[in-house]
Amino acid sequence: MPKHRLQPLFHRAQGPVVVMGRHRAMSAATPDLVTETVGAVHDAAPAVRRRLGPCTVPDVDRWQRLRAFGINRPAGPLRDAAIEAAALVWAHTPPRTERGDETAVRHLAACLYDEAVLYGVVDEERALTREKVDAWLGGQCPGSMWSRRTYRTDLYAAGRVLYPREYPAVQAPLAPRPRPVAPATTTAVAELYAATTHLPEPHRKQAVTILDMVTGAGLTSPQVKALCGGHVQGVDTPAGRVAVVAVPHRGQVIRRTPVLCTVRSARLLGRAERVGEGRMLPGASDRNAVNRVNGMLSQRGLPTIDVPALRHAWLLDLATHPHMTMTGFLAITGTTGVRAMGDLAEHLPAVDIDDLAARLMAEGPR
């Protein structure tokens, strides 16, 4: 080739250029061989340009917590890389409870590890395609059918971070609203407290603590399980010392509720003092404490604890308290939905409008 024909090539190049010719006897590489080689390299090593990284993590503290979880796989660099990749991906999903995050990261890390065994390198972008996730769920996913459903929910949520088109968001089905639960009667509450005396001592304490938290502070089942001793404080009143429960939800206190009963308050304060920052329920490792107690009550033919019915009874007691205002009711109960208020209306006593008007005007017009 003439020298002047090579000049433009050197001027356009950013660095040194090596010009090679091919001898006529050398055959060109076949397209099939090139395709196979490139594909193998792409599958074996992660892409150079990553979609996710430390700079894209929305909550660094949550990401650091996720990195501390482990999986039941042989120790080594591959397992460590699977946990790191799972934590990075899951840190980009909507927040869950600490328990929910831990379970999801374990599921995701196990999938990433199993997929990477063949290649020797963990690559979340390679492993979380819909095709590979479904293949893992159908083959290597452990557990029963119900366990696989949980795995699928977690893995699809993780895959949606990288491939939202392959994992469309789940649409909640339009279901008819369930009928409201009727509030428990005063007699039914008394029978429940009496039924606890037939249980073994550890379960009796558990049942009484549940009843005190629901009938005294209106806690729901998830709030009963999550309440810790540090959430219960005492305050002195003219009638005696009562407990004030700071009800937590996702790490924040959503309401502070006084227990308007000195007997229940004394038991709750004593329990809080004994457990310190631990969970209020005896046997804090039991995450299904209400179901466990109900199972033992049912085996003995005794009435079981219906938390929604007991909470509705507590709401009625507050709504009919002579010194309760609407402002105080909303602050104590955390009830903000108009529909929830309407469910109680049919159980409230009838109001004498003439008498109400006279009492409201006792201090003059407003």
pLDDT in tens, 94-125: 989 989 999 999 999 999 999 999 999 999 99
**In the chain, domain spans:** 54-162, 186-348
**Cα 280 to Cα 275: distance, rounded to the nearest angstrom:** 7
Average pLDDT over residues 300-325: 90
pTM: 0.53
Average pLDDT over residues 50-63: 89
Q: Two tokens at 171?
A: 């649409």
**Which pLDDT value is given to residue 309?**
92
pLDDT: is 305 or 9 the higher one? 305
What backbone torsions phi and psi does residue 181 show, to the nearest 5 degrees?
-85, 130
CB 303 within 8 A of CB 191: yes
**Which pLDDT value is given to residue 6?**
44
Total count of residues recorded for the chain: 366
Top-confidence range, 40-54, 192-206, 278-292: 192-206
pLDDT at 128 over 70: yes
Domain 186-348 is of which CATH architecture? Orthogonal Bundle (1.10)
Q: How many CB atoms sit inside 10 A of residue 128's CB? A: 26
Burial 144-170 (b: 16+ CB within 10 A, else e): eeeeeeebbebbbbbbbbbeeeebeee
**Which pLDDT value is given to residue 37?**
33
The answer for residues whose C-beta is within 8 angstroms of residue 173's C-beta and 6 or more apart is: none
Top-confidence range, 20-34, 166-180, 234-248, 287-301: 234-248
Angle formed at CA 330 by CA 324 and CA 336, multiple of 5 degrees: 145
**Which pLDDT value is given to residue 123?**
93
pLDDT at 325 over 70: yes
**Which pLDDT value is given to residue 44?**
47
Q: Two tokens at 87?
A: 């934590």
**Cα 182 to Cα 52: distance, rounded to the nearest angstrom:** 50
**Cα 5 to Cα 22: distance, rounded to the nearest angstrom:** 18
**Which pLDDT value is given to residue 174?**
61
What backbone torsions phi and psi does residue 263 show, to the nearest 5 degrees?
-70, -50
Residue 117 CA from chain centroid, whole number: 30
**Which pLDDT band holds residue 202 (cuts at 50, 70, 90)?**
confident
**Which pLDDT band holds residue 35 (cuts at 50, 70, 90)?**
very low
Average pLDDT over residues 338-360: 78
